[in-house]
Amino acid sequence: MGRRYYSQHSLRRIPRHPVLRFLLILLFIWDTLHILGIHWAQTASRQSPPPPRNTRRIYIATQHWNTARLLRDRWNDALVALVKELGAENVYVAIYESGSYDDTKGALRELDTALGQLEVKRHIVLSDVSHKDEITKQPTDHGWVKTPSGETALRRIPFLANLRNQLLDTLQELHSQGHEFDNILFLNDVVFTPEDVLRLINTNGGDYAAACSLDFSNLPHFYDTFALRDSQGHEAVMQTWPYFRSYTSRYATEHFLPVPVTSCWNGMVAMPVAPFLSKTPLRFRGIPDSLGEYHLEGSECCLIHADNPLSPVNGVFLNPVVRVGYNGTIFDTLHSQYEVLSMLDIWKGVWKNRVLRWATTPVFKEWVVRRRVQKWRQNHAPEDEPGGFCLINEMQVLYEKGWRHV
Ligand SMILES: *[C@@H]1O[C@H](CO)[C@@H](O)[C@H](O)[C@H]1NC(C)=O
């Protein structure tokens, strides 16, 4: 009897309340139209014509560490196919490898041979300097930090920034010899197709300060949260579609359009070369060591957008239809199982995103960071950090076999 009373009671109360009933129906209709709209946008995006052939001169910059398996499995072939698609005469390939303890060097030598047969201009550095060599050096006044336990350790980010900058030095040298390029294409250790790169280069009609792909390692979650910030500078609210908190970034994602973001570095990135060759050339960097002491860190791949004078002019875009994976299995699964979002996937994603946005706030996390930056500024004026939105509450240092949080 009791159960019956309750069910009748609740059935009678909610739908019979005319205003509430009207609002619920309205919400249902609006939500259904919203989801249908997204589904149509996805269909339209999938029927869009293939990207145009390449007409640009492209400097391909890439860095490898312990990637022998990926290189032999997919990457070397992907790069050769890419060079053929872009035109061997339009590209320059710069590769920097150091300290791998698998056979990355051997795999890169195989690539060197293959590129040689295509007469591709290239510069491949295979360095024997290992992490161990780096961390046992005498600490200098740049790139080292005192950890909470009191030891002085080599910071991961300035170390990586240095490696990336070596690739830019080669670009600068070529420029001084009269070799010009339109774009620089940074490739991570990801699986990609030539068409992915063509689409990336053509993001937003080719007009951008930077255009990034979206990277996957643990499906269906995207990988690089460290460098991705939405149009308002917030971290992604979720690692699955539609990812973003800010309206602008979310709207574009849901319509499969280039997504305006403040920073991204998810697998592949295309940028105009001009800022890297200007009078005050753009370079990768870490945050100052003195700021790092406050237990803060920011990715060199986020700070580069904060420093790039073109970012506010031309915009940084994530291209959500260019999706790459960190190995062959992930890439293949991504492009079979996860190729198309069903209506149910869309509904789930949209609602999960809403609930997370309503139930969580980045305010406290960002406040902790801001307060530390303020304290640092008081003690280190006039130094400043323009990449505030890149910062997170972490300290990352190198060790012999990789890197770790402290
Ligand atoms: C690819 O990565 C996934 C997840 O890290 C792993 O489970 C899988 O075995 C890897 N596959 C290959 C071919 O390395």
Say if residues 148 and 406 touch (Cβ distance below 8 Å): yes
In this prediction, residue 113 carries a pLDDT of 98
Query: 92 CA to middle of ligand 1, Å?
Result: 30
Judge whether 40 lies within some domain: no
In this prediction, residue 10 carries a pLDDT of 53
d(CA 236, CA 93): 32
Q: Is the dihedral of CA 182, 188, 194, 198 positive or negative?
A: negative
329 lines ligand 1 (CB under 6 A): yes
Domains in the chain, number: 1
Query: 266 CA to middle of ligand 1, Å?
Result: 18
Judge whether 53 lies within some domain: no
In this prediction, residue 137 carries a pLDDT of 84
Judge whether 374 lies within some domain: yes
Query: 300 CA to middle of ligand 1, Å?
Result: 27
Query: 217 CA to middle of ligand 1, Å?
Result: 8
Nearest CA to ligand 1 atom 8: 329
Model pLDDT for residues 293-339, shown as the tens digit of each residue: 999 999 999 999 999 999 999 999 999 999 999 999 999 999 998 88
DSSP assignment letter at 277: G
Structural domain that includes position 120: 58-405
Model pLDDT for residues 31-70, shown as the tens digit of each residue: 999 999 999 999 999 999 999 999 999 999 999 999 999 9
For residue 90, give both structure tokens: 């339009």
Distant-in-sequence, close-in-space partners of 128: CB < 8 Å, separation ≥ 6: 98, 99
Name residue, tokens 């390692």. Answer: 217
Judge whether 251 lies within some domain: yes
190 lines ligand 1 (CB under 6 A): no
d(CA 58, CA 33): 42
Per-residue pLDDT of the chain (406 residues; tens, 9 = 90+): 444 445 455 555 556 788 899 999 999 999 999 999 999 999 999 999 999 999 999 999 999 999 999 999 999 999 999 999 999 999 999 999 999 999 999 999 999 999 999 999 999 999 998 888 888 887 888 899 998 888 899 999 999 999 999 999 999 999 999 999 999 999 999 999 999 999 999 999 999 999 999 999 999 999 999 999 999 999 999 999 999 999 999 999 999 999 999 999 999 999 999 999 999 999 999 999 999 999 999 999 999 999 999 999 999 999 999 999 999 999 999 999 888 999 999 999 999 999 999 999 999 999 999 999 999 999 998 899 999 999 999 999 998 888 999 9
Beta strands in 100-155 (DSSP E): 121-127, 144-146, 152-154
Judge whether 30 lies within some domain: no
> Looking at ligand 1, which atom is closest to the CA of residue 330?
1
Model pLDDT for residues 87-97, shown as the tens digit of each residue: 999 999 999 99
d(CA 30, CA 39): 14
Element (H, E) at 150: none
In this prediction, residue 401 carries a pLDDT of 86
> Looking at ligand 1, which atom is closest to the CA of residue 69?
14
Beta strands in 128-273 (DSSP E): 144-146, 152-154, 183-187, 210-218, 221-222, 229-230, 259-263, 268-272
d(CA 90, CA 168): 18
Does the model's pTM come out above 0.85?
yes
Distant-in-sequence, close-in-space partners of 144: CB < 8 Å, separation ≥ 6: 152, 153, 154, 155, 289
Please provide the size of the chain in residues: 406
d(CA 244, CA 223): 14
Judge whether 43 lies within some domain: no
327 lines ligand 1 (CB under 6 A): yes
Name residue, tokens 């009748």. Answer: 8
Say if residues 394 and 291 touch (Cβ distance below 8 Å): no
Q: Is the dihedral of CA 4, 5, 10, 12 positive or negative?
A: positive
Angle between helices 300-307 and 156-176 (to 10 degrees): 50
Judge whether 1 lies within some domain: no
Q: Tell me, what CATH number does 193's domain have?
A: 3.90.550
In this prediction, residue 135 carries a pLDDT of 86
Judge whether 17 lies within some domain: no
